[in-house]
Amino acid sequence: MATEQTFSIIKPNAMKKNAIGSIIAKFEENGLKIAGAKLTQLSQAQAEEFYAEHKERPFFGELVTFMTSAPVMLMCLSGENAIMRNREIMGATNPAEAADGTIRKLYGDSMGENAVHGSDSPESAKRELGLFFTDSEICNA
């Protein structure tokens, strides 16, 4: 299995719960490393570009409003099979359906306010990391 990089966001609702440390602990306990990190508040243009694949969906406006409502933490996670491993640590999109112990089960509030984002494929990981990180901001120690 190859070492991969994936893109993660701690969303505004989890930031408001003061859960950065608890969420990062989940990644680390499950074999992922933090290879890049920054705190920022997304602009409307950044959130719209990031979620462009969903722009025709009925929840798009609400999603952009939520994602720009407060600071977020953007991360590059690295490790063996990091993309799918992160999706497992996160849990299902709907927190009500997420497995016990997953981040979305613990910190998600609703389908929209589900605590974390994680890339779903190598192509999306590359695109999403490229939107927010330069090569020199990612450390593969």
Give the residue numbers annotated as catalytic, written as ranges. Answer: 117
Give pairs for 60-66: CB < 8 Å, separation 24+: 62/112, 63/112, 66/11, 66/12, 66/13, 66/112, 66/113
Q: Counting contacts by CB under 6 A, is residue 74 touching ligand ADP?
A: no
Nearest residue relative to Mg ion (C-beta): 120
Half-sphere exposure of residue 104: CA atoms within 13 angstroms, side-chain side: 24
Q: Are 114 and 129 in contact (CB under 8 A)?
A: no
Q: Residue 104 Cβ, how far from ligand ADP at the closest point, in Å? A: 8
Q: Residue 134 Cβ, how far from ligand ADP at the closest point, in Å? A: 24
Residue 114 interaction partner, one of Mg ion, ligand ADP, none, beta carbon < 5-8 Å per kind: ligand ADP
Q: Counting contacts by CB under 6 A, is residue 111 touching ligand ADP?
A: yes
* Residues from 100 through 129 that contact Mg ion (CB under 5 A): 120
What does residue 34 show for φ and ψ, rounded to 5 degrees? -85, 110
Q: Provide the binding-site residues for ligand ADP, judged by CB under 6 A.
A: 54, 59, 63, 93, 111-112, 114, 117, 120
